[in-house]
Amino acid sequence: MRSCVSAIRRLALLALLAASATASGAPRTPFQVRCEDSIAKTVSVLSSRTNGYTVNNQLPYNILTARSGSAEQHMATLGLTVTKGQSAVSLGGAILQDPASGYECIAPRVELSLNYSPVLIYVGNEFAPGSCAYQVILEHEQRHLQAYMDNLLRVEKVVRDALNKRFDARPLYAPSGTAMSALEHEINSVWFPFIRDEFDKGKDKQALIDTPEEYARMGKVCNGAIAAILLKRQNRQ
């Protein structure tokens, strides 16, 4: 682990030194000329996709409430939208060796895909499909679905911009035999946590949908059908 971290630091430092030399007008070494003029430039590719959603109407609202944690807030969960942010990466890139210096250069190819796992929307089984109450709850959950999709587009842009800034069309330099392992370690230790944190930022938008005002509104629609169904179920328990 320590050797990988050291390799990453050397890789980043060497890339910075190479960039500084180019910016200052210093003559390039023969190895730099080979790397910068004869191998493909760095490419960062991001793609996002959605996997649709399905609706489950088999669980009662009290189980959905327990799963969502709303019981602690004394609010019933009539529906629940479940998904998870996912990311996968494919790494490659041409590598050139310089036996004289003991270093190598790589033009990293980073292909990163982002998506949410297939979305599952639960609607409490107290609410019959096709009924006014069912439709209102489903529409509420579809707002959560849309918030997830909006967040996916935001995450895609943030990560793409950050990747393009990090791997900015210049080869990276590292001691021979370490460039690819250092790149892999950087993706796993830096970029995947960064992506996970960006996905998690979408929770704020989700919380804005489940407000006390929204719960009060849903209790009044359909001539109070939702509130009546909940009261009837509670009286039977």
Tally of structural domains, the chain: 1
* Residue 177: domain span: 2-236
Q: From its phi and psi, is residue 224 left (phi > 0), alpha (psi between -120 and 50) or beta?
A: left
Burial of 162 (0-12, 13-18, 19+ CB in 10 A): middle
pLDDT at 71: 54
Cα dihedral sign for 54, 57, 60, 61?
A: positive
Mind listing the pLDDT tens digit of every residue in the chain (237 residues)?
Answer: 444 445 455 555 455 445 444 544 678 889 989 888 887 777 778 888 777 889 999 999 999 999 887 656 667 899 999 999 999 999 998 899 999 999 999 989 999 999 999 999 999 999 999 999 999 999 999 999 999 999 999 999 999 999 988 887 778 899 999 999 999 999 999 999 999 999 999 999 999 998 889 988 988 999 999 988 888 877 776
pTM of the full structure: 0.81
pLDDT at 82: 95
pLDDT at 237: 61
pLDDT at 23: 47
Rounded to whole angstroms, how far apart are CA atoms 65 and 159? 34
pLDDT at 123: 97
DSSP one-letter code for 185:
H
Burial of 212 (0-12, 13-18, 19+ CB in 10 A): exposed
